[in-house]
Structure 1
Amino acid sequence: MRIVLVGPPGAGKGTQAVRLAEKLGIPHISTGDLFRANISRQTELGKLAKSYMDAGNLVPDEVTIAMAKDRMEQPDAENGFLLDGFPRNVSQAEALDELLRDEHMTLDAVLDLEVPEEEVVKRIAGRRICRNDSSHVFHVTYSKPEQEGVCDVCGGELYQRDDDSEDTVRKRLEVYHTQTEPIIDYYKAQELVVTISSLGPVDEITQRALEALKREKAGK
Protein backbone atom coordinates (compact mmCIF):
# COMPACT_ATOMS: atom_id res chain seq x y z
CA MET A 1 0.00 0.00 0.00
CA ARG A 2 1.01 3.61 -0.60
CA ILE A 3 -0.12 5.68 2.35
CA VAL A 4 0.21 9.28 3.52
CA LEU A 5 -0.09 9.76 7.29
CA VAL A 6 -1.44 13.08 8.56
CA GLY A 7 -2.52 14.51 11.90
CA PRO A 8 -1.73 17.38 14.26
CA PRO A 9 1.35 17.52 16.49
CA GLY A 10 0.88 15.13 19.40
CA ALA A 11 -1.41 12.77 17.48
CA GLY A 12 1.16 9.97 17.74
CA LYS A 13 2.13 9.94 14.06
CA GLY A 14 5.72 8.88 14.69
CA THR A 15 4.72 5.95 16.89
CA GLN A 16 1.94 4.77 14.58
CA ALA A 17 4.02 5.24 11.43
CA VAL A 18 6.69 2.81 12.66
CA ARG A 19 4.13 0.26 13.84
CA LEU A 20 1.95 0.42 10.70
CA ALA A 21 4.91 0.25 8.32
CA GLU A 22 6.17 -2.86 10.11
CA LYS A 23 2.74 -4.53 10.11
CA LEU A 24 2.20 -3.74 6.41
CA GLY A 25 5.75 -4.66 5.36
CA ILE A 26 6.48 -1.30 3.75
CA PRO A 27 9.16 1.34 4.51
CA HIS A 28 8.37 4.27 6.80
CA ILE A 29 9.54 7.42 5.02
CA SER A 30 9.73 10.50 7.25
CA THR A 31 11.00 13.91 6.18
CA GLY A 32 13.19 14.11 9.30
CA ASP A 33 14.90 10.84 8.41
CA LEU A 34 15.27 11.94 4.77
CA PHE A 35 17.05 15.15 5.79
CA ARG A 36 19.30 13.37 8.29
CA ALA A 37 20.22 10.60 5.83
CA ASN A 38 21.01 12.97 2.96
CA ILE A 39 22.99 15.36 5.16
CA SER A 40 25.00 12.57 6.83
CA ARG A 41 25.78 10.97 3.45
CA GLN A 42 26.62 14.41 2.06
CA THR A 43 24.50 13.90 -1.05
CA GLU A 44 23.98 16.89 -3.36
CA LEU A 45 20.46 17.25 -1.99
CA GLY A 46 21.77 16.96 1.57
CA LYS A 47 24.34 19.70 0.98
CA LEU A 48 21.66 21.90 -0.57
CA ALA A 49 19.24 21.33 2.33
CA LYS A 50 21.99 22.01 4.88
CA SER A 51 22.88 25.31 3.21
CA TYR A 52 19.31 26.52 3.75
CA MET A 53 19.14 25.16 7.30
CA ASP A 54 22.49 26.70 8.28
CA ALA A 55 21.22 30.06 7.05
CA GLY A 56 18.13 29.66 9.22
CA ASN A 57 15.83 29.32 6.22
CA LEU A 58 13.17 26.73 5.40
CA VAL A 59 14.23 24.04 2.95
CA PRO A 60 12.34 24.73 -0.33
CA ASP A 61 9.59 22.32 -1.36
CA GLU A 62 11.47 21.21 -4.46
CA VAL A 63 14.40 19.94 -2.37
CA THR A 64 12.10 18.00 -0.02
CA ILE A 65 10.20 16.59 -3.00
CA ALA A 66 13.43 15.51 -4.73
CA MET A 67 14.54 13.69 -1.54
CA ALA A 68 11.16 11.95 -1.26
CA LYS A 69 11.28 10.95 -4.95
CA ASP A 70 14.75 9.47 -4.53
CA ARG A 71 13.64 7.47 -1.46
CA MET A 72 10.42 6.20 -3.07
CA GLU A 73 12.45 4.84 -5.99
CA GLN A 74 14.50 2.56 -3.72
CA PRO A 75 13.89 -1.22 -4.13
CA ASP A 76 12.30 -1.66 -0.68
CA ALA A 77 9.52 0.81 -1.65
CA GLU A 78 8.52 -1.15 -4.74
CA ASN A 79 5.42 -2.60 -3.05
CA GLY A 80 4.46 0.58 -1.20
CA PHE A 81 5.49 3.06 1.46
CA LEU A 82 4.17 5.12 4.32
CA LEU A 83 4.89 8.85 4.08
CA ASP A 84 5.14 10.67 7.43
CA GLY A 85 5.60 14.45 7.43
CA PHE A 86 5.30 14.74 3.66
CA PRO A 87 3.38 16.30 2.03
CA ARG A 88 3.10 19.21 4.51
CA ASN A 89 1.04 21.54 2.32
CA VAL A 90 -1.18 21.50 -0.76
CA SER A 91 1.62 22.45 -3.16
CA GLN A 92 3.64 19.45 -1.93
CA ALA A 93 0.55 17.23 -2.28
CA GLU A 94 0.13 18.39 -5.89
CA ALA A 95 3.82 17.73 -6.55
CA LEU A 96 3.48 14.25 -5.02
CA ASP A 97 0.50 13.51 -7.30
CA GLU A 98 2.53 14.57 -10.32
CA LEU A 99 5.50 12.47 -9.20
CA LEU A 100 3.31 9.40 -8.72
CA ARG A 101 1.62 9.91 -12.10
CA ASP A 102 5.03 10.04 -13.78
CA GLU A 103 5.87 6.70 -12.14
CA HIS A 104 2.43 5.25 -13.01
CA MET A 105 1.58 4.91 -9.31
CA THR A 106 -1.32 6.06 -7.13
CA LEU A 107 -1.93 6.56 -3.43
CA ASP A 108 -4.12 3.97 -1.72
CA ALA A 109 -5.10 6.01 1.33
CA VAL A 110 -4.47 9.11 3.39
CA LEU A 111 -4.75 8.14 7.05
CA ASP A 112 -5.87 11.06 9.21
CA LEU A 113 -5.18 10.64 12.94
CA GLU A 114 -7.83 12.73 14.68
CA VAL A 115 -7.33 14.04 18.21
CA PRO A 116 -9.06 16.96 20.03
CA GLU A 117 -6.95 20.10 20.27
CA GLU A 118 -7.04 20.24 24.07
CA GLU A 119 -5.80 16.65 24.21
CA VAL A 120 -2.87 17.62 21.97
CA VAL A 121 -1.97 20.46 24.35
CA LYS A 122 -2.29 18.12 27.34
CA ARG A 123 -0.12 15.44 25.73
CA ILE A 124 2.73 17.71 24.63
CA ALA A 125 2.74 20.34 27.40
CA GLY A 126 2.74 17.57 30.01
CA ARG A 127 5.95 15.94 28.75
CA ARG A 128 9.02 16.05 30.97
CA ILE A 129 12.47 15.06 29.69
CA CYS A 130 15.51 13.92 31.68
CA ARG A 131 18.44 16.34 31.40
CA ASN A 132 20.89 13.42 31.56
CA ASP A 133 19.25 11.33 28.84
CA SER A 134 16.55 12.68 26.51
CA SER A 135 15.30 9.14 25.83
CA HIS A 136 13.93 9.09 29.40
CA VAL A 137 10.52 10.71 28.92
CA PHE A 138 7.76 11.11 31.51
CA HIS A 139 4.38 12.82 31.61
CA VAL A 140 2.70 14.72 34.42
CA THR A 141 -0.56 12.83 33.78
CA TYR A 142 0.08 9.67 31.77
CA SER A 143 3.50 8.53 32.98
CA LYS A 144 4.36 10.19 36.27
CA PRO A 145 7.81 9.70 37.82
CA GLU A 146 7.87 8.21 41.31
CA GLN A 147 9.28 11.49 42.62
CA GLU A 148 8.14 14.73 41.02
CA GLY A 149 10.86 16.31 38.88
CA VAL A 150 13.23 13.34 39.19
CA CYS A 151 13.97 10.69 36.54
CA ASP A 152 13.10 7.16 37.71
CA VAL A 153 15.91 5.69 35.58
CA CYS A 154 18.96 7.75 36.52
CA GLY A 155 17.86 10.34 39.09
CA GLY A 156 18.42 13.22 36.67
CA GLU A 157 16.38 16.41 36.71
CA LEU A 158 13.20 16.37 34.63
CA TYR A 159 12.37 19.51 32.67
CA GLN A 160 9.93 20.83 30.08
CA ARG A 161 11.47 21.64 26.70
CA ASP A 162 10.80 25.15 25.40
CA ASP A 163 8.98 23.80 22.35
CA ASP A 164 6.70 21.75 24.63
CA SER A 165 5.29 24.83 26.43
CA GLU A 166 1.56 25.41 26.02
CA ASP A 167 2.06 28.66 24.07
CA THR A 168 4.45 26.97 21.64
CA VAL A 169 2.15 23.98 21.21
CA ARG A 170 -0.77 26.25 20.35
CA LYS A 171 1.40 28.08 17.80
CA ARG A 172 2.40 24.74 16.26
CA LEU A 173 -1.29 23.85 16.03
CA GLU A 174 -2.01 27.13 14.26
CA VAL A 175 0.69 26.32 11.70
CA TYR A 176 -0.82 22.84 11.25
CA HIS A 177 -4.33 24.26 10.74
CA THR A 178 -3.20 26.85 8.18
CA GLN A 179 -0.56 24.88 6.26
CA THR A 180 -1.09 21.13 6.61
CA GLU A 181 -4.77 20.60 7.40
CA PRO A 182 -5.88 21.86 3.95
CA ILE A 183 -4.33 18.73 2.39
CA ILE A 184 -7.07 16.70 4.07
CA ASP A 185 -9.71 18.50 1.98
CA TYR A 186 -7.44 18.16 -1.05
CA TYR A 187 -7.34 14.37 -0.61
CA LYS A 188 -11.02 14.14 0.38
CA ALA A 189 -11.80 15.39 -3.12
CA GLN A 190 -9.95 12.29 -4.36
CA GLU A 191 -11.86 10.06 -1.89
CA LEU A 192 -8.62 8.92 -0.26
CA VAL A 193 -9.03 10.09 3.34
CA VAL A 194 -9.55 7.55 6.12
CA THR A 195 -10.08 9.22 9.50
CA ILE A 196 -9.61 7.40 12.80
CA SER A 197 -9.53 8.50 16.41
CA SER A 198 -6.04 8.71 17.92
CA LEU A 199 -7.37 8.38 21.47
CA GLY A 200 -6.74 5.29 23.56
CA PRO A 201 -3.94 2.76 24.02
CA VAL A 202 -1.27 2.64 21.30
CA ASP A 203 -2.09 -0.97 20.34
CA GLU A 204 -5.78 -0.14 19.94
CA ILE A 205 -5.01 2.82 17.67
CA THR A 206 -2.74 0.64 15.51
CA GLN A 207 -5.44 -2.00 15.18
CA ARG A 208 -8.06 0.65 14.43
CA ALA A 209 -5.83 2.04 11.67
CA LEU A 210 -5.12 -1.37 10.14
CA GLU A 211 -8.82 -2.25 10.05
CA ALA A 212 -9.70 1.13 8.49
CA LEU A 213 -7.00 0.72 5.82
CA LYS A 214 -8.18 -2.82 5.10
CA ARG A 215 -11.74 -1.57 4.58
CA GLU A 216 -10.49 1.23 2.35
CA LYS A 217 -8.50 -1.20 0.19
CA ALA A 218 -11.41 -3.66 -0.02
CA GLY A 219 -13.74 -0.87 -1.13
CA LYS A 220 -11.64 -0.07 -4.21
Structure 2
Amino acid sequence: MSQFQSAVFYTSVNDARDLPQHSGIEVAFAGRSNAGKSSVINTLTNRNRLAFVSKTPGRTQHINFFKLDAEQFLVDLPGYGYAKVPYSIREHWERLLSNYLQTRESLKGLVLIMDIRHPLKSLDIQMLDWFAPTGKAVHILLTKADKLSKQQANNTLKDVNSYIKNVYPRCSVQLFSSLTTTGVEDASDVINSWLRNN
Protein backbone atom coordinates (compact mmCIF):
# COMPACT_ATOMS: atom_id res chain seq x y z
CA MET A 1 0.00 0.00 0.00
CA SER A 2 2.70 2.49 0.90
CA GLN A 3 5.87 3.50 -0.90
CA PHE A 4 7.39 4.40 2.47
CA GLN A 5 7.19 1.09 4.31
CA SER A 6 10.98 0.88 4.48
CA ALA A 7 11.09 3.87 6.86
CA VAL A 8 13.08 3.29 10.04
CA PHE A 9 13.94 5.63 12.89
CA TYR A 10 17.31 7.26 12.22
CA THR A 11 18.01 9.94 14.82
CA SER A 12 16.42 12.53 17.10
CA VAL A 13 17.76 16.08 17.34
CA ASN A 14 17.11 18.85 19.86
CA ASP A 15 19.74 21.31 18.64
CA ALA A 16 20.48 22.61 15.14
CA ARG A 17 24.16 21.75 15.63
CA ASP A 18 23.25 18.06 15.81
CA LEU A 19 21.36 17.86 12.50
CA PRO A 20 22.66 14.86 10.52
CA GLN A 21 25.01 15.48 7.61
CA HIS A 22 24.20 13.59 4.42
CA SER A 23 23.93 14.12 0.66
CA GLY A 24 20.29 13.06 0.34
CA ILE A 25 16.81 14.62 0.45
CA GLU A 26 14.50 15.42 3.35
CA VAL A 27 10.73 15.95 3.38
CA ALA A 28 9.50 17.55 6.60
CA PHE A 29 6.14 17.27 8.35
CA ALA A 30 4.89 20.13 10.52
CA GLY A 31 1.63 21.07 12.17
CA ARG A 32 -0.18 22.11 15.30
CA SER A 33 0.21 19.70 18.19
CA ASN A 34 -3.27 18.22 17.84
CA ALA A 35 -3.60 18.23 14.03
CA GLY A 36 -2.76 14.53 13.58
CA LYS A 37 0.82 14.79 12.31
CA SER A 38 2.05 11.52 13.83
CA SER A 39 -1.00 9.69 12.48
CA VAL A 40 -0.24 11.04 9.00
CA ILE A 41 3.34 9.73 9.12
CA ASN A 42 2.21 6.36 10.44
CA THR A 43 -0.49 6.09 7.75
CA LEU A 44 1.84 7.05 4.90
CA THR A 45 4.45 4.53 6.05
CA ASN A 46 1.82 1.87 6.84
CA ARG A 47 3.32 1.55 10.33
CA ASN A 48 1.38 1.74 13.57
CA ARG A 49 3.98 3.35 15.82
CA LEU A 50 6.78 4.75 13.70
CA ALA A 51 5.85 8.25 14.88
CA PHE A 52 4.51 8.36 18.42
CA VAL A 53 0.79 9.13 18.66
CA SER A 54 -0.23 10.62 21.99
CA LYS A 55 -3.50 11.80 23.48
CA THR A 56 -1.42 14.59 25.04
CA PRO A 57 -0.48 17.19 22.38
CA GLY A 58 3.08 18.44 22.32
CA ARG A 59 4.84 15.12 22.87
CA THR A 60 7.11 15.50 19.82
CA GLN A 61 9.77 17.75 21.33
CA HIS A 62 12.63 16.97 18.97
CA ILE A 63 13.21 16.80 15.23
CA ASN A 64 12.87 13.09 14.45
CA PHE A 65 14.42 11.63 11.29
CA PHE A 66 13.11 8.48 9.60
CA LYS A 67 15.34 7.03 6.90
CA LEU A 68 14.01 5.63 3.65
CA ASP A 69 16.09 3.93 0.98
CA ALA A 70 18.88 5.78 -0.83
CA GLU A 71 19.58 8.66 1.54
CA GLN A 72 16.00 9.88 1.71
CA PHE A 73 14.44 11.02 4.97
CA LEU A 74 11.02 11.85 6.36
CA VAL A 75 11.43 14.45 9.12
CA ASP A 76 8.92 14.86 11.95
CA LEU A 77 9.12 18.41 13.33
CA PRO A 78 7.95 19.41 16.84
CA GLY A 79 4.25 20.17 17.01
CA TYR A 80 3.48 23.83 17.65
CA GLY A 81 0.77 25.86 19.33
CA TYR A 82 0.14 23.84 22.49
CA ALA A 83 -0.41 26.29 25.35
CA LYS A 84 0.53 23.94 28.22
CA VAL A 85 4.12 23.69 27.03
CA PRO A 86 6.35 26.04 29.08
CA TYR A 87 7.30 29.28 27.34
CA SER A 88 11.03 28.50 27.39
CA ILE A 89 10.40 25.22 25.55
CA ARG A 90 8.08 26.88 23.03
CA GLU A 91 10.75 29.51 22.39
CA HIS A 92 13.38 26.80 21.84
CA TRP A 93 11.06 24.93 19.44
CA GLU A 94 10.44 28.11 17.45
CA ARG A 95 14.16 28.78 17.08
CA LEU A 96 14.83 25.17 16.12
CA LEU A 97 11.94 25.08 13.63
CA SER A 98 12.71 28.40 11.97
CA ASN A 99 16.42 27.55 11.69
CA TYR A 100 15.67 24.17 10.14
CA LEU A 101 12.97 25.39 7.76
CA GLN A 102 14.85 28.45 6.54
CA THR A 103 18.40 27.10 6.21
CA ARG A 104 18.32 23.32 5.66
CA GLU A 105 19.70 22.75 2.15
CA SER A 106 18.66 19.09 1.95
CA LEU A 107 15.02 19.96 2.73
CA LYS A 108 13.03 19.48 -0.48
CA GLY A 109 9.51 20.32 0.67
CA LEU A 110 7.19 20.76 3.64
CA VAL A 111 4.03 18.77 4.35
CA LEU A 112 1.92 21.04 6.55
CA ILE A 113 -0.74 19.30 8.62
CA MET A 114 -3.96 21.15 9.52
CA ASP A 115 -7.08 19.81 11.21
CA ILE A 116 -9.79 20.41 8.60
CA ARG A 117 -12.07 21.76 11.34
CA HIS A 118 -9.51 24.46 12.28
CA PRO A 119 -7.39 25.35 9.21
CA LEU A 120 -5.13 28.36 8.69
CA LYS A 121 -4.67 29.31 12.34
CA SER A 122 -2.20 32.11 13.09
CA LEU A 123 0.67 29.69 13.76
CA ASP A 124 -0.05 27.86 10.49
CA ILE A 125 0.27 31.20 8.69
CA GLN A 126 3.48 31.89 10.60
CA MET A 127 4.84 28.52 9.47
CA LEU A 128 4.01 29.35 5.85
CA ASP A 129 5.60 32.79 6.23
CA TRP A 130 8.77 31.23 7.68
CA PHE A 131 9.02 28.78 4.81
CA ALA A 132 7.81 30.78 1.80
CA PRO A 133 11.08 32.74 1.30
CA THR A 134 12.93 29.47 0.61
CA GLY A 135 10.95 29.03 -2.62
CA LYS A 136 10.46 25.34 -1.82
CA ALA A 137 7.19 23.46 -2.20
CA VAL A 138 4.53 23.15 0.50
CA HIS A 139 1.73 20.59 0.48
CA ILE A 140 -1.10 21.07 2.99
CA LEU A 141 -2.99 18.03 4.29
CA LEU A 142 -6.40 18.89 5.72
CA THR A 143 -6.56 15.98 8.15
CA LYS A 144 -9.50 14.34 9.91
CA ALA A 145 -11.62 14.87 6.79
CA ASP A 146 -13.83 12.02 8.02
CA LYS A 147 -15.05 14.33 10.83
CA LEU A 148 -16.99 16.44 8.31
CA SER A 149 -19.58 15.61 5.69
CA LYS A 150 -18.26 15.29 2.16
CA GLN A 151 -19.82 18.66 1.23
CA GLN A 152 -18.37 20.40 4.31
CA ALA A 153 -14.94 18.92 3.63
CA ASN A 154 -14.99 20.00 -0.02
CA ASN A 155 -16.15 23.51 0.92
CA THR A 156 -13.29 23.85 3.40
CA LEU A 157 -10.85 22.56 0.79
CA LYS A 158 -12.14 25.17 -1.66
CA ASP A 159 -11.82 27.98 0.90
CA VAL A 160 -8.26 27.03 1.89
CA ASN A 161 -7.27 26.63 -1.76
CA SER A 162 -8.68 30.04 -2.58
CA TYR A 163 -6.64 31.66 0.19
CA ILE A 164 -3.29 29.97 -0.41
CA LYS A 165 -3.15 30.22 -4.19
CA ASN A 166 -3.03 34.01 -3.94
CA VAL A 167 -0.61 34.24 -1.02
CA TYR A 168 1.58 31.14 -1.36
CA PRO A 169 1.86 30.15 -5.04
CA ARG A 170 4.24 27.23 -4.28
CA CYS A 171 1.63 25.63 -2.03
CA SER A 172 -0.93 22.89 -2.79
CA VAL A 173 -3.67 21.42 -0.61
CA GLN A 174 -5.74 18.24 -0.34
CA LEU A 175 -8.11 16.34 1.96
CA PHE A 176 -6.69 13.58 4.16
CA SER A 177 -7.97 11.05 6.67
CA SER A 178 -5.83 8.53 8.51
CA LEU A 179 -9.00 6.72 9.61
CA THR A 180 -10.47 6.16 6.14
CA THR A 181 -7.14 6.51 4.22
CA THR A 182 -8.70 9.27 2.13
CA GLY A 183 -5.97 11.10 0.22
CA VAL A 184 -3.14 8.73 1.14
CA GLU A 185 -2.29 7.93 -2.47
CA ASP A 186 -2.38 11.58 -3.53
CA ALA A 187 -0.13 12.64 -0.64
CA SER A 188 2.29 9.79 -1.38
CA ASP A 189 2.48 10.86 -5.04
CA VAL A 190 3.37 14.45 -4.08
CA ILE A 191 6.09 13.37 -1.64
CA ASN A 192 7.51 10.86 -4.09
CA SER A 193 7.72 13.53 -6.78
CA TRP A 194 9.83 15.64 -4.40
CA LEU A 195 12.08 12.71 -3.53
CA ARG A 196 12.62 11.82 -7.20
CA ASN A 197 13.51 15.34 -8.32
CA ASN A 198 16.88 15.65 -6.63
Which TM-score applies when normalising by structure 1?
Answer: 0.40
Pick the structure with more strand per residue.
2
Q: Which has the higher helix share?
A: 1
More relative contact order, 1 or 2 (CA 8 Å, 6+ apart):
1
TM-score (norm. length: structure 2): 0.44
